[in-house]
Amino acid sequence: MDLRVKKTKKNIKEAFFQLRKRKPIEKISVKELSEIAMINKATFYLHYRDVYDLSDKLENELISVIIDSASRYDLRLGRAEFKLFADAITGEILDHSKEIEILFSGKDNNTFINHLEDRLKEYVFMTFPNIPNNGEVNIILTLFIQGSYRAYIRNPTINREVFISTSSSILMRLLNT
């Protein structure tokens, strides 16, 4: 990708996060965003249809980072790899917690975790094609993903290592049942 395009997209992203910290997405205009990003509106429209398209792309980018980090581990190799997978997911969520908080604040609060859950389940079910219709596995994954995320939101001051260890331990116990 051209260096100018990278810089432009970086400026747009930073401007969007700056505005999103202060106001809901429906109150952000392309004009205002473009001014902060120091680009003209036409340049914005070269890359995005509107601020919702930008938000969707940032959401998908963030979820892809989490999935890519976790997908380094081969779940078919057993529980040790599954624990590393769980650690990677939890760690990435913690690493990107400020972006998640800003991007999905307000009424979009559930959107992130629901989309992440869908993408993680898709990944797990591609790895294990024999389990997509297994209700027990679906419940375990939902409990782990949604529960870990909600636990972090409710307890943001907990030590990172303790949080990762505890959430991974719970998943391993669930899988042993």
Q: What is the pLDDT of residues 157-167, one digit of tens each?
A: 888 788 777 87
Give yes or no: residues 127 and 112 share one domain: yes
pTM: 0.79
For every residue of 62-112, DSSP letters joined together read HHHHHHHHHTTS-GGG-HHHHHHHHHHHHHHHHHTHHHHHHHT-GGGHHHH
Most confident of 15-24, 66-75, 81-90, 166-175: 15-24
70 shares its domain with 32: no
- Core vs surface per residue 152-176: b (16+ CB within 10 A) or e: beeeeeeeeeebbeebbebbeebbe
Mean pLDDT of all residues in 82-107: 81
Number of domains in the chain: 2
Residue 126 and residue 102 share a domain: yes
Q: Where a domain ends, among 28, 48, 68?
A: 48
Residue 33: domain span: 3-48
pLDDT in tens, 119-174: 988 888 888 777 766 788 788 888 888 888 888 778 878 887 887 778 777 777 76
